[in-house]
Amino acid sequence: MGSISVIGAGSWGTAIGVLVSGKGLKVTLWARNSEFCDTLRKEKENKLYLPGVKFPKTLSVTSTLADALKGARIVVCCVPSHGIREVFKGAALMEGAIIVSASKGIEQKTHLTPSGILGSVLPKGFNERIAIISGPTFAKEVSMGLPSAACAAASSIIVAEEVQEVFSTPSFRVYTNTDTIGVELGGAMKNVIAIASGISDGLGLGSNARAALITRGLKEISVLGSAMGAKEATFYGLSGLGDLVLTCTGPLSRNYTLGLAIGRGRSLTDILGEMRMVAEGVKTSIAARELAEAKGVELPITEQVCKVLHEGKSPKQAVMELMTRGLKHEF
């Protein structure tokens, strides 16, 4: 096994770096900002995004992308989805390297998932060597060694199994999957539904409403996934239902927390101005609505989240419209 490079030093990138280097594997963590990189190197801890978690001895940090990628057998992308294209365009990867996307989202206009973005900017020879790691995994809990599970997905089961082997530890169980579309779509769309769940709780609508949102949100994800050729069973797995439940209910969820503040009357501009980390669901909601229109499917919750976030619609009015839609069969 060669060295491993983790591109992106936010909470999730840092957690993955700590997880894998904790196995004794050599890991290089890339941080875009050189001053931030110096701080990480000096303190051997990411006090900004993942405080209290010390770096293992085999984890090094650099702000030079070429240095991070040099000789890396496994390259893990932890860059926010809207920044992937810029970071990886022209990146010099080692021949035969595997690229693992740990990012979640849908790019606006192109409607590409993170692996699709990577495939569009990297040489064609890497397309079969792009994988995804996804599931119900809060960075803080993973870095603390609390029991967690995720799935490694790739079109090639051989690639998926290699990623599975690299990421698996006694506290981090990894399953394989070959439905890359379904795995990534579940990881992207759950953030939109989590914003809706937060809005509901912010309005004080109760547990019944949250449960209904999660259930019908899963249905929306499945409907869009089917239109894109995903396997329905994937949405009942770790990257679908698992990630959805966690993100819609956990206080560590950035998207849920953002929705909670919206439901309590705060403006999106003010909330985003205070957030250090990215709430992917904000931009994904627009891309998902565009994608749904292109595929000719209805995503009523996603549509209302879009209108609340980007068109100034009242959350209470959005709830009313969802509850008074035409009656229909559940499935």
Q: Annotated active-site positions, please?
A: 190
Alpha carbons within 13 A on the beta-carbon side of 53: 26
Q: Residue holding tokens 């909330």?
A: 271
CA 147 to chain centre: 19
